[in-house]
Amino acid sequence: MRRFDPLSGARFFPPRGGALAILIKEWAQIWRDPSTIGLVVVLPLLLMFLFGSAVSLDTTATRTGLVDRDRSAASRDLAAAFSQNRYFAVTEMGEVAPLRQALLEDRVRGIVVIPEGFGAGLASGAPRDIQVITDGSQPNTAAFLSGHARGLLAQWSAARLGERGSDVRAPLTLNQRYRYNPGLQSRYTLVPGAIAIVMAMIGTMLTALIMAREYERGTMEGLLASPVSIAALVAAKVLPYFILGLASTAVCVGVAVFAYGVPFQGSLPALFLISSTFLAAVLGQGLLISAATRSQFVSTQFALLSGFMPSLLLSGFLFEIDSMPLPIQYISYIVPARYLIPSLQSVFLVGDIWPMFLPNAAIMLGFGAFFFYRVTRSIGRTIA
Amino acid sequence: MGQTPRWSRLGRLAALAMKELKVVLLDQRARVTLIASPIIQLALFGFATTLEVKSIELGLVDRDGGRVAEQLVAALDGSPNVRRLVLYPSEAALGDGIAQREIIAGLILPQRLSADIAAGRGGEVQALLDGRRSNASQIVGGYLDTVVTRAGATLSSSGQLGARAPPAPQVLVRHWYNPNLDYLWFTMPSMIAVITAVLVLSVSAQSVAREREFGTYDELMILPLHPWEILLGKVAPAFLAGLANALLFVAMIPTLYGVPLTGSAALLLVAIVVYTMSLVGTGLMISCLASNQQQAFLGMFFVTVPLILLSGYASPVDNMPGWLQPLVAINPSHHMIVISEGIFLKDLPPGLVFGHLWPMAAAAITTFAAALLVFRARRE
Per-domain boundaries in chain B: 56-156, 180-377
Confidence of residue B315 (pLDDT cuts 50, 70, 90): confident
| B68 has a pLDDT exceeding 70 | yes
- Nearest-by-CA chain B residue for A144: B139
Given CB atoms, is A177 within the 8 Å cutoff of chain B?
A: yes
Give the residue from B64, B94, B297, B348 with the most A CB atoms within 10 Å of its CB, the best one to mutate.
B297
The pLDDT assigned to B318 comes to 84
Nearest to B50 among A128, A168, A324 (CB): A324
- Nearest-by-CA chain A residue for B190: A137
- Nearest-by-CA chain B residue for A360: B100
For the domain bounded by B56-156, which CATH number is listed?
Answer: 3.40.1710.10
Rounded CA gap, A284 and A204, in Å? 8
Q: CA angle B228-B232-B233, nearest 5°? A: 120
Confidence of residue A1 (pLDDT cuts 50, 70, 90): very low
* ipTM reported for the complex, 2 dp: 0.81
**At A154, which helix (H) or strand (E)?**
helix A139-163
* Number of A–B residue contacts, CB under 8 Å: 363
- Nearest-by-CA chain A residue for B156: A171
Rounded CA gap, B296 and A181, in Å? 40
Q: What integer is the mean pLDDT of A60-77? A: 91
- How far is residue A282 from each of residues A307, A364, B117, measured CA to CA in Å? 8, 9, 55
Residues of chain B positioned with their CB less than 8 A from the CB of A345: 132
Interchain proximity A188–B131, CB inside 8 Å: yes
**Which residues contact residue A139 at a Cβ distance below 8 angstroms, ignoring those fewer than 6 apart?**
B51, B175, B178, B181, B182, B183, B185, B186
The pLDDT assigned to A219 comes to 80
pLDDT digits (tens, 9 = 90+) for B179-198: 988 888 998 999 899 999 99
pLDDT digits (tens, 9 = 90+) for A141-165: 898 898 889 888 988 888 887 776 6
pLDDT digits (tens, 9 = 90+) for A236-267: 888 888 988 898 899 999 999 999 889 999 99
Name the more confident of A16 and A345. A345
Residues of chain A positioned with their CB less than 8 A from the CB of B126: 174-175, 177
Rounded CA gap, B201 and B204, in Å? 5
Nearest to A136 among B101, B179, B202 (CB): B179
Rounded CA gap, A39 and A45, in Å? 10
Confidence of residue B271 (pLDDT cuts 50, 70, 90): very high
| A384 has a pLDDT exceeding 80 | no
- pTM beyond 0.95: the answer is no
Nearest chain A CA: its distance from B8 CA (Å) = 31
Rounded CA gap, A330 and A328, in Å? 5
Q: Phi and psi at residue A351, in whole multiples of 5°? A: 130, -165
Q: What integer is the mean pLDDT of B197-215? A: 86
Interchain proximity B169–A130, CB inside 8 Å: yes
Rounded CA gap, B38 and B40, in Å? 5
